[in-house]
Structure 1
Amino acid sequence: MYWIKLDVVTWMMDDLTAGISTVVLARRCFSSWMIRLWRDIRSSIYLIRGQGNLADIPTMEHRVKQQSDFGIDYPIKRDAAPQNFLKLFYPFHYSVGMAVEKHLSGSNLTRHQTVILWIIHSKGTDGNTIHRKTIERLIGEWYELGSPAISKVLRAMAEKELNLISIKESKTSAREKVIRLTKKGQSTVNEMMERTEAFIKLISDELTDEEIANGMEFMSRVGAIVEGGIAGRKA
């Protein structure tokens, strides 16, 4: 009698276990289906905001093409990389770059003042002190500014009205000037960074973690290659 009860209990436990497994599997399938559905809906929304209609979305490759729409040749191939990079250069360098620069500048800084503050922040000692000749060398990568024009911008930034930097003679050379951020200058740089990071977050919120990681790696590699001296080579 006891063994019959034991068999019944065992059968009930096996059935319950199978039921639980079925539920877990169903939940996993449902979650996977929901993720795919959400991705398709999100892609469809992007497409509707841009060009075309839902009937024009046969493949993920086509969706990406519709989202970018910069004339990129698909499928992506190494041989076509130079042409595709060139097609992306204008929208990225000018549209994206200028949007970032606009947020860095805000409403009170000129473009030249913004670049100088950025150079001090990113290339200066402790992010606040730099030699004038270094500014002159680096700003030449952004704008065609001669030494007199740079001196004019620096003097304006050091005047009482702006009071963003101080200009003093170097301890090692009377001919060399040392540029240092004032308290107001440091505060201005902090505001620049906060304002622009908020803008960039709006962009990153539209990207997946994988896209962000790949984008960071790509830009880091390209920057390292160009700064490594390739920009001066002849094709």
Structure 2
Amino acid sequence: MAKQEKSGQQSVGRAGAASADEARGNDPRRSSLGDLLSFYYPMHYRIGIDVETVMGQGRISRKQGTILWLIHSRGDKDGWLRRKLIEERLSAWFEISNSSVSNLLRELTRPPLELVKQIENPTSGREKLVCLTPKGRAFLDESIRQSIDYLGRHLEHVDQTQLDRGIQFFKLAFQPLSSDAPPPTPEGAG
């Protein structure tokens, strides 16, 4: 248990540790996957939520920051993303309704923020497309800069070789699945 605490993992109670050991069995891969799972909460709650907060720059909520990141990371070559995808992801990740997502988007669209733009999909009047405005791209660029600064402070004890190995692991482990590819945007939306 002391080894786990030194490596930054959250310690678990004796019953939790015993049941985790039983679930892993004698299979080394399963044991490694169990060790990897033990990093979920520190990654999500100690780093992930902090980065989401930093990205908001004190001006937008974590959910709105997630919307900006989705548009940035999942938009087509012209930066457009189907609003339906934003609703699906936020509903799953934050357990909020589509009407709540609509309110978040509306706030991002209006002054004083004006970080996103929404249009009707030229090929479907029932669907909307969303993209970052120039102001939104500048906001996100600053959010990324601040987040890199945060990670630099939080991970200053990790040397460059270790950091590179971690990046290679995440690139391999989380390479985009075909279902993660952004849908094609209809002509005329850009």
Q: TM-score range by the shorter chain?
A: 0.7 to 0.9
- Which one of 131, 153, 175 corresponds to residue 180 of structure 1? 131
- Which one of 58, 61, 85 corresponds to residue 107 of structure 1? 58
CA shift at 1:228, angstroms?
A: 6.9
Aligned length: 164
Residue 124 in structure 1 maps to residue 109 in structure 2: no
Q: Is the 8 A contact 1:121 1:127 kept in 2?
A: no
- Which one of 113, 134, 140 corresponds to residue 189 of structure 1? 140
CA shift at 1:142, angstroms?
A: 2.2
| Counterpart residue identity of residue 123, structure 1 | R
| Counterpart residue identity of residue 80, structure 1 | S
With a CA cutoff of 8 Å and minimum separation of 6, indicate the structure with the bigger relative contact order: 2
Structure number having the greater helix percentage = 1
RMSD value, Cα: 2.7
Identity of aligned residues (%): 26
- Which one of 206, 214, 228 corresponds to residue 165 of structure 2? 214
CA shift at 1:108, angstroms?
A: 0.7
**Further displaced range: 192-201 or 125-134:** 125-134
- Which one of 149, 154, 174 corresponds to residue 100 of structure 2? 149
Partner of 1:162: 113
Partner of 1:68: 8
Q: Give the alignment's TM-score, normalised by structure 2.
A: 0.73
Q: Is the 8 A contact 2:9 2:39 kept in 1?
A: no
User: How far, CA to CA, are the matches of 2:62 and 2:9 in structure 1?
Assistant: 30
| Counterpart residue identity of residue 66, structure 1 | K
Q: 1:162 to 1:84 in 2, by over 3 A?
A: same
Q: Is the 8 A contact 1:120 1:127 kept in 2?
A: no
Partner of 1:200: 151
Q: Give the alignment's TM-score, normalised by structure 1.
A: 0.61
Q: Is the 8 A contact 2:9 2:38 kept in 1?
A: no
Q: Is the 8 A contact 1:128 1:186 kept in 2?
A: no
